[in-house]
Structure 1
């Protein structure tokens, strides 16, 4: 079943997976993918994690950071697009003095199952 934007609900970020505060807003869920907006308050970031298939981030507001394990963090600005492949350990979130918002498109397992919560490493 598809979940459309008008059906979406807003909650707070799960402190098991995020360091800081912000707001996720699920927008679309269908077999094979989920789409949602995540607002990170200043200095909020998620923990190191991977995805079982892939994730695409489109920055829509503010300033943020994205880091892949073993590489330097990179600055994110509105309009930036980040593609993270299968099992790539990474984190993303807002800069220390700026909030950041992105749309996250997460590809799910072939059977439509949720790839699971972010995993801390």
Structure 2
């Protein structure tokens, strides 16, 4: 057993997020066989990710607030506390807070030893992000 020292809260980089986003590492990747990563991500109202995909998929679990999630070509879906969302490997998607609420979720995904488990794309256009 090991008590893990975790890094301080970090601001989400502007290349990957629109608006103010902060994250806390909950579980950094460990040695084989598990490479599970877990962060709790805090989105201010209107903040959201850019389009992105994960090589091995991603699971989100909403812990508080109100948010949106959308897969490329799909409908925008409102997400609420207690809901769990799974995005399969390679599926381009975005997620974040609604314009009038904060939203936090656990983000869980598998790391890849050589890196590159997440592929980041373009930021959403004004027409892609739902207005209040």
TM-score range, shorter chain: 0.7 to 0.9
User: In the alignment, is residue 61 of structure 1 matched against residue 60 of structure 2?
Assistant: no
| Kept in 1: contact 2:45–2:103 (CA 8 A) | yes
TM-score (norm 2): 0.81
Runs of 4+ in 1 over 6 A off after TM superposition: none
The correspondence for 1:43, drawn from 31, 41, 46, is 46
Summarize the Cα distance change of 1:74–1:3 in structure 2 as closer, same or farther, 3 Å threshold.
farther
- Tell me the CA shift for residue 11 of structure 1: 1.1
Q: Show the counterpart of 1:102.
A: 105
TM-score (norm 1): 0.88
- Tell me the CA shift for residue 114 of structure 1: 3.5
Unaligned 5+ runs, structure 2: 123-132
The count of aligned residue pairs is 117
Highest Rg: 1 or 2?
2
| Kept in 2: contact 1:17–1:118 (CA 8 A) | no
The SS at the match of 1:23 is strand
Unaligned 5+ runs, structure 1: none
Q: Show the counterpart of 2:126.
A: none
